[in-house]
Structure 1
């Protein structure tokens, strides 16, 4: 392996410290999600150089491609030469044919977060970069996403006691690939990244073929939206504590959510609905269908505004006066 550019190593160290609030705890394990692509291999090499002895790496084998096991071994071999502990995490259950990328992403993060906790890490870094952020912004804008969706890939999120961080959101894909090549790092290009069946691939091609669409500037816009989203989240947290209602006749209120939302602006209703749906799904163990920030809930809001009940992601939402009730969707009756 060729030596890494020292300025790039220092830049990465500063970026990781920044997203963690100003400092990387010395001697604390730093968990990295490494797919084997040029972006994640560049991150792995940068992290190993910036924080020697602290890095732990993991590669997820989704069992979707025959080559995935060999790619995980490639990462493991590099880690062995660099003195970085590595784990290969294998998805146990078949992902299926529907919503493949969303389902794979959910399973991947579940495995990675559990692994990070096991190795004693309090942060888990992924190699998402500015071009990923630009693609996400455009994809969600094309779907009519609101503020939460347009905020794109968050630089830092808390998940089950682990800080999920993206220290490369200020880096371009071209410079990461160039770094990987210059340092003679092994890497592979996932063929799904060129599959036009996926929306992201089409938006990647749009950015590549449209010079006046600047991914760095689009990513910057996503960052500004994320700042607005953070402010709205604070308002949402306050509303969650002040707008909850528990009718006396409800026998198991912990399995439901009742919220007084009638007089709120639509954006706050949208956010409270998402929070309530997530809460009721979590407490009732509902995991399918996938529900995330990109899920469209506008038809649900329209129905509720008209006083009609509707379902979303396995949750039945009904209206009683000013109060909206969120509960698990009743099972369908057999014909």
Structure 2
């Protein structure tokens, strides 16, 4: 298959990869579902990363058509000269379908990247996704970290299409004559993202993807600055005595108290992920010199906060 994309589009994609600090000889595992976003990512990457690209399709096995769609992507990759693998979950996806499918997908991609000696996993999140994410998190009452949106890099996962709009990605596919697959779950308004997407498409509003990118970029910078300052404060104000963590947060702005509290809890238990309202309640208890429990951690308030693992309960 001969693919011809405009130099302007290719230059934008090349510049996006440079901003992600990817080395010239790095290998990429590209997640391709068969929809227009990921097919556009595949087409761009095939032009810019020849010989350094492997495509992976995750068949979540949630729909009868999914196996056929994975084979469809495989045929496109074969015609493009791109190696392609199909990944399936180790166990049936259940519970919150979107959340569980996402977790399974990234776990499979991580494992495949290791097996294929790929330094990066590229996904097709784009500017419209960023706008939807920003508004969804705003509706949920997220703070600075949440409103910083989808990060261009998260570990080895890179998202070089965040400055491309959905319309541009559809045009890229159209220019090659490829007809993307249609996932009916993208029309299911029971999913929060689909509901937000429909609202944006059918309701007059002042929001644009380009403005959302500027807002998200500013909030991401603010979030990074807060993380840096929290790490600095933790080095100064958090100490260890045997199995007890001691934190002196007195006199700090409330946001830094909150972040130091989370730092101490995660130091005690890396798997602990309390909700925001639980953190707010615990912070109030500590500031009023009271003792509280969260998970299996005993938290004692006062001038210094003390955190320790609670003794096991008697039978």
**TM-score tier (shorter):** 0.7 to 0.9
2:252 aligned residue (249, 264, 268): 264
Q: Is residue 277 of structure 2 the alignment partner of residue 319 of structure 1?
A: no
Q: Is residue 235 of structure 2 the alignment partner of residue 247 of structure 1?
A: no
CA distance in 1, matches of 2:308, 2:166: 42
* Superposition map of 1:272-291 within 5 A: 272-282=260-270, 286=271, 291=273
Instruction: Give CA deviations for 1:52-90 in whole Å, capped at 9, x if unaligned.
Output: 111111122222222222222221221111111112121
TM-score with structure 2 length normalisation?
A: 0.87
Q: CA deviation at 1:113?
A: 1.9
SS in 2 for 1:246: strand
Instruction: Give CA deviations for 1:95-147 in whole Å, capped at 9, x if unaligned.
Output: 322x3222222222222122212222222211111110111100111111000
Q: Is residue 185 of structure 2 the alignment partner of residue 197 of structure 1?
A: no
Contact 1:10 1:50 in 2 (8 A): no
TM-score with structure 1 length normalisation?
A: 0.82
Q: Which runs of 5+ in 1 are unaligned?
A: none
Q: CA deviation at 1:239?
A: 2.9
Tell me the C-alpha RMSD between the 2 structures. Answer: 2.6
Q: Is residue 27 of structure 2 the alignment partner of residue 33 of structure 1?
A: no
Q: CA deviation at 1:37?
A: 1.2
Q: CA deviation at 1:36?
A: 1.6
1:309 aligned residue (292, 295, 299): 292
Contact 1:27 1:53 in 2 (8 A): no
| Higher CA-based Rg | 2
1:116 aligned residue (113, 116, 125): 113
Contact 2:291 2:301 in 1 (8 A): no
Structure-1 residue corresponding to 2:83: 85
2:124 aligned residue (114, 127, 132): 127
Q: CA deviation at 1:195?
A: 0.9
1:170 aligned residue (146, 163, 182): 163
State which drifts further: 9-18 or 205-214: 205-214
Q: Is residue 149 of structure 2 the alignment partner of residue 152 of structure 1?
A: yes
Contact 1:60 1:72 in 2 (8 A): yes
Structure-1 residue corresponding to 2:276: 297
CA distance in 1, matches of 2:185, 2:40: 20
Q: Is residue 213 of structure 2 the alignment partner of residue 219 of structure 1?
A: yes
CA separation of 1:149 and 1:54: change in aligned 2, threshold 3 A? same
SS in 2 for 1:245: strand
Contact 1:236 1:271 in 2 (8 A): yes
CA distance in 2, matches of 1:27, 1:181: 30
